[in-house]
A and B are shown apart, each in its own frame.
Chain A
Amino acid sequence: MREIIYAEAIREALREEMIKDPNVILIGEDIGAYGGAFKITDSFLKEFGPERIRDTPISEAAIAGAAIGASLIGLRPIAEIMYMDFLPIALEQICNQAAKMRFMSGGQLKVPIVIRTQYSLGRAHGAQHSQYIPSWLLQVAGLRVALPSTPYDAKGLLKTAMRDGNPVLYIESSLLYRVKGQVPEEEYTVPFGKTDVKREGRDITVVAISRMVREAIAAAEILREQGIEAEVLDPRTIQPLDIDTIVDSVKKTGRLAIAEDDSKTGGVGAEIAASIAERAIDYLDAPIVRIAAPDIPIPFSPSLEQEYMPNKEKVVEAVKSLVK
Chain B
Amino acid sequence: MSGLTEIKSIPAEDYAGLGFEKERLVWMLKKMIEIRLFEEKVEELYLMRGLITGPAHLYFGEEAVAVGVMSALDPSDYIISGHRGHGHALAKEIPAKLIMAELFGKSTGTCKGLGGSMHVGICLEKNSLFASAIVGSGIPIASGVGLALKYKKSDRVVAVFFGDGAANTGAFHEGINLAAIWKLPVIFVCENNKYAIGMKVEKAVATNSLAIRATAYGIHGISVEGNDPVAVHKATKEAIEIARSGEGPALIEYKTYRQKGHGVYDKAPYRPKEEVEEWLKKDPITNFEKKLIASGFISEGEVAKLRSEILSKIDEAVKFAQESSVLSFQELEKLVYA
A62-B175, A65-B144, A165-B338 given; A93·B152 CB < 8 A:
no
Query: Is A245 among interface residues, defined by CB-CB distance under 8 A?
Result: no
Query: Is A75 among interface residues, defined by CB-CB distance under 8 A?
Result: yes
Q: Contact at B178–A75, with CB atoms within 8 Å?
A: no
Interface string of A56-72 (1 = CB under 8 A from B): 11010110111111111
Q: Contact at B141–A65, with CB atoms within 8 Å?
A: yes
Chain B, interface size category, equals 35 or more
Q: Across the interface, name the chain B residue whose C-beta is closest to A77.
A: B144
Which of A31-39, A95-103, A196-204, A266-274 touches B?
Answer: A95-103
A77-B144, A96-B134, A101-B130 given; A65·B336 CB < 8 A:
no
How many chain A residues have a CB neighbour from B under 8 Å? 43
Taking CB atoms, residues of chain B closer than 8 Å to A164 are 338
Q: Contact at B141–A68, with CB atoms within 8 Å?
A: yes
Query: Is A92 among interface residues, defined by CB-CB distance under 8 A?
Result: yes
Could you tell me the distance between the alpha carbons of A77 and B141 in the complex, rounded to whole angstroms? 12
**Given B148, B182, B327, which contacts A75 in the complex, CB threshold below 8 Å?**
B148
Q: Contact at B122–A73, with CB atoms within 8 Å?
A: no
Query: Is B193 among interface residues, defined by CB-CB distance under 8 A?
Result: no
Q: Across the interface, name the chain A residue whose C-beta is closest to B133.
A: A96
Q: Contact at B124–A108, with CB atoms within 8 Å?
A: yes
Q: Tell me how many residue pairs across A and B have CB atoms closer than 8 Å.
A: 146
B224 to nearest A CB, angstroms?
25
Q: Across the interface, name the chain B residue whose C-beta is closest to A144.
A: B337
Q: Contact at B338–A103, with CB atoms within 8 Å?
A: no
Q: Contact at B177–A107, with CB atoms within 8 Å?
A: no
Taking CB atoms, residues of chain A closer than 8 Å to B78 are 73
Taking CB atoms, residues of chain A closer than 8 Å to B111 are 104-106, 108
Taking CB atoms, residues of chain A closer than 8 Å to B336 are 102-103, 141-142
Taking CB atoms, residues of chain B closer than 8 Å to A165 are 337-338
Q: A68-B141, A71-B148, A105-B112 are in contact. List 20 more A-B contacts (CB 8 A).
A: A57-B178, A59-B140, A59-B177, A62-B174, A64-B140, A65-B174, A66-B140, A69-B141, A69-B158, A72-B129, A72-B141, A73-B152, A75-B152, A92-B134, A93-B137, A97-B137, A97-B141, A103-B332, A104-B114, A107-B334
Interface residues of B (CB under 8 A from A): 78, 107, 109, 111-115, 119, 122, 124, 129-130, 132, 134, 137, 139-149, 151-152, 158, 170-171, 174-175, 177-178, 181-182, 327, 332, 334-338
Interface residues of A (CB under 8 A from B): 25, 51-52, 54, 56-57, 59, 61-62, 64-75, 77, 92-93, 96-97, 101-110, 112, 141-142, 144, 164-166
